[in-house]
Amino acid sequence: MTVIALASDHAGFALKAALADDLRAAGHSVIDLGPDSEASVDYPDYGRALGEALAQGRATHGIAVCGSGIGISIAVNRVAGVRCALVTSGLMARLARQHNDANCIALGSRIIGTETARDCVHEFLNTPFEGGRHAGRVAKLG
């Protein structure tokens, strides 16, 4: 079973909640790392929690959401062993998996709509890492 950890800030709360519902309905196990409302919070705290859940093996995949996707992606990527790609389309999500073996994607709730976010998640979860010529490059990431 795929275990997916999700985290956001206040700007990403509604999109995170919608995606969590979709994932549960599709039979995935979801770890919602918060927040629990749209009250203002600091994205680095939630990004770090998501990165740690991935690094510790509590989740196999991560989805991070903030207003732009930029801040929370930076926070998640500060945890060793995590490769979080900021994506704005299904193609970017697919390439993040195929070429970069991303174990997390970041989405900007003020940048993309819910349907595009759903497409990103679908591509992220259903695309394998190609390995081959990409494996050595990913290994250099640490």
pLDDT in tens, 82-138: 999 999 999 999 999 999 999 999 999 999 999 999 999 999 999 999 888 999 999
End-to-end Cα spacing for the chain: 26
Residue 32 annotated as part of some ligand binding site: no
The token pair at 58 is 């509590």
Annotation says 66 is catalytic: yes
pLDDT in tens, 40-58: 999 999 999 999 999 999 9
Which of 61, 84, 99, 134 is labelled catalytic?
99
Q: Where are the domains of the chain?
A: 3-139
pLDDT at site 130? 87
Are 107 and 90 within 8 A, CB to CB?
A: no
pLDDT at site 69? 98
Annotation says 134 is catalytic: no
Dihedral sign from CA coordinates of 62, 139, 79, 76: negative
pLDDT at site 142? 78
pLDDT at site 131? 86
pLDDT at site 115? 98
Say yes or no to pLDDT of 1 above 80.
no
Across the range 74-87, mean pLDDT stands at 97
pLDDT at site 15? 98
Domain 3-139 has CATH 3.30.420.40: no
Residue 133 annotated as part of some ligand binding site: yes
Residue 97 annotated as part of some ligand binding site: no
Across the range 27-35, mean pLDDT stands at 98
Across the range 14-39, mean pLDDT stands at 98
What phi and psi values does residue 140 have, to the nearest 5 degrees? -70, -15
pTM above 0.85, yes or no: yes
DSSP letter for 63, please.
Answer: E
Please state, in angstroms and rounded to a whole number, the distance separating the CA atoms of residues 3 and 31.
Answer: 7
pLDDT at site 81? 94
Please state, in angstroms and rounded to a whole number, the distance separating the CA atoms of residues 64 and 76.
Answer: 8
